[in-house]
Amino acid sequence: MKLTAATPADAPAMASAHAQAFDTPWDEADFEDLLDGIGVFGFVVRDEDPAGVLICRTIAGEAEILTVGVAPWARRRGIGQALMTAAIGIARETGAQAMFLEVDVGNAGAVALYERLGFARAGLRRDYYDRGAHGRADALVMRLDLTAGRD
């Protein structure tokens, strides 16, 4: 497994990993555009094939995880945690005070990962996700304090 900081040239690999991880994937152009944005950074994990992807945006002292996903065949090998740990490191370096993300309340695996990294439940967005035939799902807002241990 190889984790690297993403550049727009990685957009095809990021889109490939995203398409494996999510039912509604983002395409290459989405990743190119995002990586061009101010305060946006990302990572991609390759293990022969693209295996994981993360995009984060920092604005006004806050970092937000826009997406993180790992291909089903590559899960439970620490890739999600490695992606998040890398993002937390960059966010801290850039001076962000806190990191936020939204996650489907029913996504127990992702919630477990975030809690393990120190994220706390900060709020609930009712009916945030459109699950098509399955109706709508609430989003949990989670927050990680990035100031702990700073002078």
Ligand X SMILES: CC(C)(COP(=O)(O)OP(=O)(O)OC[C@H]1O[C@@H](n2cnc3c(N)ncnc32)[C@H](O)[C@@H]1OP(=O)(O)O)[C@@H](O)C(=O)NCCC(=O)NCCS
Q: Is 21 in the site for ligand X (CB under 6 A)?
A: yes
Q: Is 124 in the site for ligand X (CB under 6 A)?
A: no
Torsion of CA 129, 55, 37, 146, to 10 degrees: 100
Q: Is 57 in the site for ligand X (CB under 6 A)?
A: no
Q: Which of these segments, 4-12, 26-34, 62-70, 126-134, binds ligand X (CB under 6 A)?
A: 62-70
Q: Is 70 in the site for ligand X (CB under 6 A)?
A: yes
Q: Is 50 in the site for ligand X (CB under 6 A)?
A: no
Q: Is 66 in the site for ligand X (CB under 6 A)?
A: no
What is the biggest distance separating any 2 CA atoms in the chain, rounded to whole angstroms? 50
Structure tokens at 98: 């806190």
Q: Is 125 in the site for ligand X (CB under 6 A)?
A: no
Least distance (Å) between residue 61 CB and ligand X: 22
Q: Is 107 in the site for ligand X (CB under 6 A)?
A: yes
> How far does the chain reach from its first CA to its final CA, in angstroms?
35
Cα–Cα distances in angstroms (integers) from residue 47 to residues 1, 14, 17, 20, 44, in the given order:
4, 13, 11, 14, 10
DSSP state of 9: G
Q: Which residues lie near ligand X (CB under 6 A)?
A: 21-22, 68-70, 75-81, 103, 107-110, 112-113, 116
